[in-house]
Amino acid sequence: MSYSALSHLDCPRCGARHDADVVQGTCSCGSPLLARYDLGEVRTSPRDIAGRPPDLWRYHELLPVRAARHVVSLGEGMTPLLALPRLGRALGVPNLLMKDESLIPTGTFKARGAAVGISRAAELGVRAIAMPTNGNAGAAWSVYAARAGLRSLVAMPAAAPAVTRAECAAAGAELYLVDGLIGDAGRLIAAAVAQRPGYQDASTLREPYRVEGKKTMGLEIAEQLGWRLPGVIVYPTGGGVGIIGIYKALRELLELGWVAGDLPRLVAVQSTGCAPIVRAFQAGATASEPWPDPKTVAFGITVPNAPGDFLILEALYATGGTAVAVTDEALLADQGAVARLEGSFICPEGAACVSAVRELRESGWLAGSDEVVVLNTGTGLIYPDTVPARVPVLPPSGSIP
C-alpha cells in the first residue's frame, strides 16, 4: 500500500480532471481544485491509525504527500478535544466540546495547512512560495518554508497581529505590510508572482493542498470521538478553508466506512462586521457578494470576498447547517467567559463560535441534547490587546490591600 492514496485533482465547478503530480494552481475555469484519493484502495483501518504517532501524518493515506521522506513536520496535529462542562451548562448545551488548536506549532490551526501545503510543494520541486495573509497563515507558512529550506514571500495588512509579523521576519520571510486589506495584499502578491519565475502562489485555495492539511481537524474530531461524528461542528469562517476541509474529511470517512450515519450540521460563524457568507446563506444563494468596509477584532475572519464561497455554502446546505454573525462585543465577552469558566485563553475567532452557540441555543436551532464541537482556531496569546488588563501598579515599598 502506498504512503498516499492521492489519485488526481478535480474541479468542483466544471468537473475537469487535473494531474496531481505537477504543480497546479486553480482550474482554467477559475475554480479551486480539490485532491481526490483512491479510497477503495486504502487497506488501513482505524485500528492501524491508533498505533501511529500523535500528529496529523497518522492519516497519511488521506494526505497528498507521496513519500514519507518529504514530510516537513514540527509535530502538528492531534490537538485536544476538550469537554467544556461549565460553559456548556451555562449556555444550555451540556455536551459542548472544543477542538483546541492553541496547542499547535505557531499557535493556530494554520500550521496544518502549512505543513501539508509546504511538504507537497517541496515534493513537487517548488523552491519558493508567495502568499497574502491576515497574519496567522503567513506566520505558519514562513516557519514551515524555513524548515523545508524554501523561500517565502508574504504580504499582510499593517493591522494584522504584530506577533505574526515578528514570526515571519524571524523565519526569514521576505515580508511586506500593506496599508489595506487581505485582498489588496493578494493583488500585490499575484503581480509579484507573475514577475518571479519559480514562486508558487499559495493564496487561499489557489493551490490544492492547504485544504488537505486543514481537513485533518475533521479526521481528528472523528477519531477522538471513537470514530463517531458529533451532531454539530461550529467553525469561524474567513476564507472557509477549514470548513471546506472538515466537510471533505467527513465525506471521505463515510466513503471509507470508518464512520456511519448523518454528517454533523456545519455552522459557519462570521462577525457582524464582515459577514458575506451569512448574508449569502440567508438569501439561499450559492455564491457571496463582496462585503464593503469589513471590520472586526476577530482579524482572521476579516475576509470580504472568499474564492471558495460556493464550497462553503454547499457544505452548509448539504449538512442542514447554518451561518451566524456575532458582534465583537459578544465574542469578546465570551473570550472572557471561556477563560474564567474553563481556564482556556482562546482567540477571538474561537470565541465567535461560543457566541454563535449561545445565539443558536437561544433561537432554538440547537437543542439542549445536541453534541456540539466548537473550533478554537488559535491561542489568545496572539492577540494580547483584545483583553484589557486594568491592574494596579504598586511601588516597591507599597503593600497589597
Residues in contact with ligand PLP by the rule CB under 6 A: 108, 110, 134, 136-137, 204, 236-242, 300-301, 347, 349, 377-378
Q: What is the DSSP string of 48-83?
A: HHHTS-SSGGGGGGGSS---GGG---SS-----EEE
> Choosing among ligand PLP, Zn ion, none, which partner's interface includes residue 321 (Cβ < 5 to 8 Å by kind)?
none
Q: Which CB, 110 or 361, lies closer to ligand PLP?
A: 110
Return the H-helix or E-strand segment holding 122: helix 110-123
Residues 170 and 192: their CA atoms lie apart, in Å, by: 22
> Choosing among Zn ion, ligand PLP, none, which partner's interface includes residue 13 (Cβ < 5 to 8 Å by kind)?
Zn ion
Determine contact, residues 10/33, Cβ cutoff 8 Å.
yes
CB of 210 to Zn ion, least distance (A): 18
> Choosing among ligand PLP, Zn ion, none, which partner's interface includes residue 14 (Cβ < 5 to 8 Å by kind)?
Zn ion
Q: Which residue is nearest to ligand PLP (CB)?
A: 300
CB of 26 to Zn ion, least distance (A): 8
Cβ neighbours around 64 below 10 Å, total: 24
- In sequence order, what are the beta bridge partners of 128? 151, 199
> Choosing among ligand PLP, Zn ion, none, which partner's interface includes residue 358 (Cβ < 5 to 8 Å by kind)?
none
Q: Which three cell numbers stand for residue 354?
A: 461560543
Residue with grid cell 515571519, as numbered in its chain: 168
Q: Which CB, 31 or 377, lies closer to Zn ion?
A: 31
CB of 205 to ligand PLP, least distance (A): 9
Q: Which three cell numbers stand for residue 353?
A: 463560535
Determine contact, residues 153/185, Cβ cutoff 8 Å.
no
Determine contact, residues 28/130, Cβ cutoff 8 Å.
no
CB of 155 to ligand PLP, least distance (A): 14
> Choosing among ligand PLP, Zn ion, none, which partner's interface includes residue 238 (Cβ < 5 to 8 Å by kind)?
ligand PLP
Picking from 305, 244, 245, 309, the residue whose alpha carbon sits closest to that of residue 274 is 305
Which residue type, as a one-letter code, is found at position 87? Answer: L
CB of 13 to Zn ion, least distance (A): 5
> Choosing among ligand PLP, Zn ion, none, which partner's interface includes residue 236 (Cβ < 5 to 8 Å by kind)?
ligand PLP
Task: Report how many residues bind Zn ion under the rule CB under 5 A.
Answer: 7
CB of 294 to ligand PLP, least distance (A): 13
Q: Which CB, 4 or 108, lies closer to ligand PLP?
A: 108
CB of 317 to ligand PLP, least distance (A): 17
Q: Which CB, 94 or 264, lies closer to ligand PLP?
A: 264
Residue with grid cell 497528498, as numbered in its chain: 64
Determine contact, residues 304/274, Cβ cutoff 8 Å.
yes
CB of 312 to ligand PLP, least distance (A): 8
Q: Which CB, 94 or 240, lies closer to ligand PLP?
A: 240
> Choosing among Zn ion, ligand PLP, none, which partner's interface includes residue 347 (Cβ < 5 to 8 Å by kind)?
ligand PLP
Residues 309 and 312: their CA atoms lie apart, in Å, by: 5
Burial of 48 (0-12, 13-18, 19+ CB in 10 A): exposed
Q: Which CB, 11 or 150, lies closer to Zn ion?
A: 11
Burial of 249 (0-12, 13-18, 19+ CB in 10 A): buried
Q: Which three cell numbers stand for residue 218?
A: 475533521
Q: Verify binding: residue 31, Zn ion, rule CB under 5 A.
A: yes
> Choosing among ligand PLP, Zn ion, none, which partner's interface includes residue 242 (Cβ < 5 to 8 Å by kind)?
ligand PLP
Applying the rule CB under 5 A, the residues between 5 and 24 that interact with Zn ion are 11, 13-14, 16
> Choosing among ligand PLP, Zn ion, none, which partner's interface includes residue 300 (Cβ < 5 to 8 Å by kind)?
ligand PLP
Q: What is the DSSP string of 321-369?
A: -EEEEE-HHHHHHHHHHHHHHH---B-HHHHHHHHHHHHHHHTTSS-TT
Please give the biggest Cα pair distance in the chain.
Answer: 74
Q: Which CB, 94 or 107, lies closer to ligand PLP?
A: 107
CB of 253 to ligand PLP, least distance (A): 19
Where along the sequence are the contacts to Zn ion (CB under 5 A)?
Answer: 11, 13-14, 16, 27, 29, 31
